[in-house]
Amino acid sequence: MAPGAGRLEGRVAIITGAAGGIGRGTARAFAAEGARLVLCDLAEEPLRELAGELDAECRLVVGDVAEEETARAMVAAAQKGFGRLDALVSNVGLMFFKDIDEVTVEEFDRVMAVNVRGMFLACKHAIPPMVAQGSGAVVLVSSGSAFIGQEFDGVSTFVYNTSKAAVRQLATSLGTRYAHEGVRVNAIAPGVTRTGQLGAFRPDLEPEQEEEMFAAAAQQLAPIGRYAEPEEIGRAIAFLASDDASYVVASTLVADGGVLAR
């Protein structure tokens, strides 16, 4: 079925980290497929701008995914606003670069809180109503970094990589647990994707420098020879949330332009 052909027509989906990057691309892809959306992010104004541009019914939740109240609010918004919940896309993730002898306990805990605890909390509150209705799909955004050792300008990304490996395992474990109750849980592992994460971590970079770094990384790493646009990853997530992926359970879809195949 072609993109925009209504694979998610009438379904209700929560998307976290929706204001930018892969979350924004996913919101666009889901809207094109006919979904009704609960969009969550810390940044309220970009969230409102996104809702205004989408041809979809939207409910907005502003909050920190690392806090349980945000997870409760997202699910409540779906149930009160639309009467059901069919899909969860848990997408928020902090990029982090530091070698192990420089990382503080507070920094480690914050990355794990956002990247792992946030997904645990979203699943904790989203899966029970899906089980109650006998159907649902959860997609957790992991990373190609979950499979490899990785450095950035010679500095380790081990904290980020470890968190994304935990996300991949969370999808595996929840996928096997809830498949017989009609809830499919999977992960996606994007490769180099043109998001704002690098700029958020390195505010010293000029936009053209950031673009050059993304392009160089993609040329070096990906056989396809380019980076992914957020909407490309969003369409892959829409596939996992749709009935086209009805037999895909507890799996990780690698969408990395061939990086891990080298």
Q: Quick check: is 153 in a domain? A: yes
Q: Quick check: is 82 in a domain? A: yes
Give the residues of the chain that fall short of pLDDT 70.
1-5, 196-203, 205, 207, 210-211, 214
- Show the beta-strand stretches assigned E in 29-149: 36-41, 58-62, 87-90, 136-141
Q: Quick check: is 211 in a domain? A: no
- Domain region containing 24: 12-191+228-252
Q: Quick check: is 181 in a domain? A: yes
Q: Quick check: is 259 in a domain? A: no
Q: What percent of the chain has pLDDT over 90?
A: 80
Q: Quick check: is 222 in a domain? A: no
Given this model, what pLDDT does residue 1 score?
A: 47
DSSP 176-235: HHHGGGTEEEEEEEE-SB--SHHHHH-TTS-HHHHHHHHHHHHHHH-TT-SPBPHHHHHH
CATH of the domain at 145: 3.40.50.720
Number of domains in the chain: 1
Given this model, what pLDDT does residue 222 score?
A: 87
Q: Quick check: is 220 in a domain? A: no
Q: Quick check: is 257 in a domain? A: no
Q: What is the pLDDT of residues 203-213, one digit of tens each?
A: 676 767 766 77
Given this model, what pLDDT does residue 219 score?
A: 77
Task: Catalogue the active-site residues.
Answer: 160
Given this model, what pLDDT does residue 152 score?
A: 77
Q: What is the pLDDT of residues 50-69, one digit of tens each?
A: 999 999 999 999 999 999 99
